[in-house]
Amino acid sequence: MADGGLSPSAAERYRKLSQTRLRSNLLMAPALAWLTALMVVPCALVLALAFFRRGIYGGIEYTFTLENFSQVLDPLYAGIFLNSARIAGTATLIAVIIGYAAAYAISAAPRRLQPVFLFFAVLPFWSNYLIRTYAWIVLLNREGLVTQLLRWIGYTGEPPSMLYTEGAVIAGLVYNYLPFVILACYAPLSRLNPELAEASRDLGASALTTFRRVILPLTVPGIAAGAVFVFVLSIGNFVTPALLGGGRFQMIGNLVYDQFLTANDWPFGAALAMALIAIMLAVLMAQALLADRAAGRTREAEGGADG
């Protein structure tokens, strides 16, 4: 009899639960459809392309081969991968140092000014990526603004060659992705209880030790998120190296672009693109795994607490 009293409410609960589930599935459907049509299917097509042979006149010959992937490992192309990783890594390091410092300064500013500073930090984002990159050309040109500034303060020698160098590419990448790092580092810094730093000072630590042992470890997740963002976006970037590198510095992005649009070797371009996606996924997953482990420790901790 007790069961008789219980089961209707249990059934009711079950009905409600499946209703909620149905509703959330419906809400998710457009996004899933979008992702499938514009991300999963094209990626699968590109992946399939990588296993075919290039036709003699640039078309595709539908015979299975692994040649494209072995070609990716050719020292010539592997070298470009490594070079891209090096450039992206350098840009990441510089962006993290500048971005963290900026985020730290913003989080130390008076509370009501912080949104204003953040707004200015993110402001360049509201203009077009291409225009922002072209602006660097205007700056770094042989007779560009930087040279004119040098002349104005009395420099008379040869104009420095800044444009179309690796430095210009790195500067462009750092500039374009800096706001991501600032935002990613600002979040944990602004949430940090200021009494933690005071407690460290109170216990005898210098300002530097306080930063190294308390502030930095507690804001590493933000640094990691910002760094992964810059690295992943930089390693596959092709606009910045094309415009600021002047075609002299090839990164994987340019190589893929060339294979599809100039060399007309779609299968090899596809294999390169797949290799690039694999690298990005590996980096993203490593970061997700680390973040998850940190979160898992927290959850475990909450479960294990006793009164």
Partner 1 sequence: MSEPRTLLRIDRVSKNFGRVRAVDGISLDIRENEFFALLGPSGCGKTTLLRMLAGFETPSDGQILLDGRDIARTPPNKRPVNLMFQSYALFPHMSVRANVSYGLEMERLPAAEIRSRVDAILATTELVPFADRKPEQLSGGQKQRVALARALVKRPRLLLLDEPLGALDKKLRGAMQLELKRLQHEVGITFVIVTHDQEESLVMADRMAVLKDGRLLQCDTPHAIYEHPSDRFVADFIGVMNFVPGRADANGVQATNGTKITGKVPATLSSGASAVAAVRPERIRLFPSPDTANRVAGTVEALAYQGLDLQVHVRTALSQKPFLVRVTADAADRRPVAAGDRIELGWDAADVRIFAD
185 vs 46, 88, 97, 104, 181, CA distance in Å?
Answer: 35, 19, 10, 8, 6
Q: For partner 1, which is the closer residue by CB, 92 or 200?
A: 200
User: Does 156 contact partner 1 by CB under 8 A?
Assistant: no
Q: Measured from the CB of residue 295, what is the shortest distance to partner 1 in angstroms?
A: 12
- Alpha-carbon torsion angle 229, 230, 234, 237, nearest 10: 60
61 vs 69, 117, 175, 254, 274, CA distance in Å?
Answer: 16, 56, 42, 24, 19
Nearest partner of 159 among 171, 135, 143, 145, judged by Cα = 143
Q: For partner 1, which is the closer residue by CB, 218 or 239?
A: 218
Nearest partner of 122 among 167, 173, 184, 171, judged by Cα = 184
Q: Measured from the CB of residue 54, what is the shortest distance to partner 1 in angstroms?
A: 54
The answer to whether residues 192 and 218 touch, using CB atoms and an 8 Å cutoff, is: yes
User: Does 205 contact partner 1 by CB under 8 A?
Assistant: yes
Binding segment for partner 1 (CB under 8 A), chosen from 113-121, 181-189, 226-234, 294-302, is: 294-302
User: Does 217 contact partner 1 by CB under 8 A?
Assistant: yes
Taking CB under 8 A as the criterion, the residue among 89, 201, 238, 263 binding partner 1 is 201
Q: Measured from the CB of residue 185, what is the shortest distance to partner 1 in angstroms?
A: 17
Taking CB under 8 A as the criterion, the residue among 30, 154, 195, 293 binding partner 1 is 195
User: Does 209 contact partner 1 by CB under 8 A?
Assistant: yes
Give backbone dihedrals phi and psi of 53, rounded to 5 degrees, phi first.
Answer: -100, 150
User: Does 200 contact partner 1 by CB under 8 A?
Assistant: yes
Give contact residues for partner 1 (rule: CB under 8 A).
193, 195-196, 198-206, 209, 213-214, 217-218, 298, 301-302, 304-307
